[in-house]
């Protein structure tokens, strides 16, 4: 799959709307606590500035449900962008309307402006044609660079490209290339590492890659659900008991293909979840009904590490435990470090996975590719594309 990119267009003097993923985490004071998504957007923005485009940035932030929410305005993002770009990036108070049109009309080549949260308008999540047309009317070209939103048919991520030419940003192009490579030649052994809480988001990927994957390493809440479905005691752990039938069916499909599944057979448990929790590393069969499984155990971690060391292709999405707290971070950290050392093709993604790497101070450069999308990455791997990719112009 090849899509036109910003490098295929003449951007000089053009009004170029760039859909970024600035859905960044904020603390109670409205300060950004992780600027990774902003940092990933910079290459495309800088390229367009250098080409003399009038750069119009759009994004959503949070879930304001179609109404203005003061705590979800994009002012902190504008301040962050100003620092990175070393220019003053104005943030407008809306994303459509006469005032926005007038401001853009006065822009000069190389200027950058950030429009207000697109989800302040109810039409955004509905992909409302009127809202999409209003956004599209502000620009000559649309650049989709917010991979994390490409799985949604929203106006700012999809609908705009129905009215003006749409191409991929540099970040989006890399996501398409690196994730798309998994549908071509795969060097074996291939290992898929899956964690996180919900089984529904992982089913499609497992089914899509079950014939290509040699070993599945499963941890986190996902492992709890599979263990529960297999009849194991899981205490008061995070588990989707209503998905037991789905879990059993999934395990059967993997077994039919003759693939190896590495589930925790020893676990880190506690009755509290904080930095001061007292923990125990015990065999799974010894868990007390009042305890919680909060990480994979040491023996399981070593088995997983051995699998990783023998792998030539590794795909990882989701942590092995409650990595945010030191007592339960070891499993995820060891997986991260072992994967970073591996000479294999390593493709990682998911918000929690990326957050864990930052917590452990592990450079993204040590991996083949770190995807900026969580749900978007999983859906791309399941379906081979996404709405926000399909709508862009083909390279041919």
Catalytic residue selected from 321, 331, 375, 388: 375
- Of 141, 172, 203, which one is at a domain's C-terminal end? 172
Asked whether residue 393 is domain-assigned, the answer is: no
pLDDT surpasses 90 at 374: no
Q: Is residue 205 located within the same domain as residue 349?
A: yes
Q: Is residue 253 located within the same domain as residue 317?
A: yes
Catalytic (active site) residue 198: yes
* pLDDT > 90: percent of the chain: 95
Q: pLDDT, tens digit, for every residue of 220-234? A: 999 999 999 999 999
Q: In the structure, what pLDDT confidence band is assigned to residue 200 with cuts at 50, 70 and 90?
A: confident
CATH number of 19's domain: 3.40.50.1260
Asked whether residue 195 is domain-assigned, the answer is: yes
Q: pLDDT, tens digit, for every residue of 18-61? A: 999 999 999 999 999 999 999 999 999 999 999 999 999 999 99
What pLDDT, on a 0 to 100 scale, did the predictor assign at position 266?
97
The alpha-carbon radius of gyration of the chain (Å, integer) is: 22
Catalytic residue selected from 178, 198, 208, 212: 198
Q: Is residue 258 located within the same domain as residue 357?
A: yes
Q: Is residue 163 located within the same domain as residue 208?
A: no
Q: Is residue 370 located within the same domain as residue 299?
A: yes
Catalytic residue selected from 37, 54, 152, 259: 37
Among residues 132, 126, 181, 119, the alpha carbon closest in space to that of 159 is found at 132
What pLDDT, on a 0 to 100 scale, did the predictor assign at position 344?
97
Catalytic (active site) residue 351: yes
Per the structure, how many domains does the chain have?
2
CB contact set of 280 (below 8 Å; sequence gap of 6+): 268, 269, 270
Distance of CA 291 to the CA centre of its chain: 31
8 Å CB contact between 83 and 114 = no
Q: What is the DSSP string of 170-210?
A: HHHHHHHHHHHGGGS--PSSEEEEE-SS-SHHHHHHHHHHT
pLDDT, average across residues 334-361: 95
8 Å CB contact between 57 and 113 = yes
Q: Is residue 146 located within the same domain as residue 287?
A: no
Q: Is residue 94 located within the same domain as residue 166?
A: yes
Specify the pTM.
Answer: 0.92
Supply the DSSP symbol for 33. S
The neighbour count for residue 87, using CB atoms within 10 Å, is: 13
Which residues span the domain enclosing 186? 180-380
Q: Alpha helix (H) ranges present in the chain? A: 36-50, 75-85, 98-105, 123-126, 129-136, 170-180, 200-209, 220-229, 244-256, 298-310, 330-341, 351-359, 375-383, 387-390
pLDDT, average across residues 2-10: 96
Catalytic residue selected from 148, 318, 351, 373: 351
Q: pLDDT, tens digit, for every residue of 279-311? A: 999 999 999 999 999 999 999 999 999 999 999
Q: Is residue 229 located within the same domain as residue 359?
A: yes
Q: Is residue 375 located within the same domain as residue 228?
A: yes
CB contact set of 85 (below 8 Å; sequence gap of 6+): 42, 45, 46, 49, 112
Catalytic (active site) residue 384: no
pLDDT surpasses 80 at 1: no
Q: pLDDT, tens digit, for every residue of 102-130? A: 999 999 999 999 999 999 999 999 999 99
Q: Is residue 256 located within the same domain as residue 353?
A: yes
Q: Is residue 104 located within the same domain as residue 39?
A: yes
User: How do 112-114 and 280-283 pair as beta strands?
Assistant: unpaired
Q: Is residue 274 located within the same domain as residue 155?
A: no
Asked whether residue 396 is domain-assigned, the answer is: no
Q: What span, in angstroms and rounded, lies between the C-alpha atoms of 203 and 233?
A: 23
Asked whether residue 395 is domain-assigned, the answer is: no
């Amino acid at each position: 799959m090849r899509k036109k990119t910003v490098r295929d267009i003449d951007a000089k003097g053009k009004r170029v709307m760039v859909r970024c993923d600035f859905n960044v985490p904020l603390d109670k004071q409205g300060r950004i606590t992780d600027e990774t998504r902003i940092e990933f957007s910079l290459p495309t923005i800088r390229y367009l500035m250098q080409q003399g485009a009038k750069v119009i940035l759009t994004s959503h932030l949070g879930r304001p449900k179609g109404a203005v929410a003061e705590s979800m305005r994009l002012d902190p993002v504008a301040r962050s962008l100003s620092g990175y770009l070393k220019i003053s990036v104005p943030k407008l108070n809306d994303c459509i309307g006469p005032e926005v049109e007038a401001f853009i009309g006065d822009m000069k080549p190389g200027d950058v402006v950030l429009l207000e949260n697109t989800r302040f308008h109810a039409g955004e999540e509905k992909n409302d044609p009127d809202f999409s047309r209003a956004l599209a009317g502000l620009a000559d070209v649309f650049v989709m660079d917010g991979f994390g939103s490409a799985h949604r048919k929203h106006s700012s991520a999809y609908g705009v490209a129905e009215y003006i030419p749409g191409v991929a940003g540099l970040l989006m192009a890399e996501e398409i290339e690196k994730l798309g490579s998994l549908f071509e030649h795969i060097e074996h052994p291939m290992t898929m590492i899956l964690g996180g809480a919900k089984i529904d988001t992982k089913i499609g990927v497992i089914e899509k890659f079950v014939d290509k994957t040699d070993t599945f390493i499963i941890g986190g809440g996902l492992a709890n659900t599979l263990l529960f479905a297999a009849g194991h005691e899981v205490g008061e752990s995070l588990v989707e008991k209503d998905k037991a039938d789905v879990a059993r069916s999934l395990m059967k499909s993997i077994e039919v293909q003759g693939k190896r599944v590495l589930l925790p057979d020893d676990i880190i448990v506690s009755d509290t979840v904080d930095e001061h929790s007292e923990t125990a590393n015990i065999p799974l069969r010894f868990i007390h009904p009042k305890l919680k499984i909060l990480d994979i155990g040491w023996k399981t971690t070593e088995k997983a590490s051995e699998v990783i060391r023998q792998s030539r292709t590794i795909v990882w999405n989701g942590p092995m435990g409650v990595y945010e707290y030191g007592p339960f971070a070891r499993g995820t950290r060891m997986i991260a470090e072992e994967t970073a050392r591996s000479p294999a093709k390593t493709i990682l993604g998911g918000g929690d996975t990326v957050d864990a790497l930052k917590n452990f101070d592990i450079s993204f450069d040590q991996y083949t590719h770190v995807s900026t999308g969580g749900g978007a990455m999983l859906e791309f791997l399941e379906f081979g594309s996404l709405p926000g990719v399909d709508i862009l112009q083909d390279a041919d």
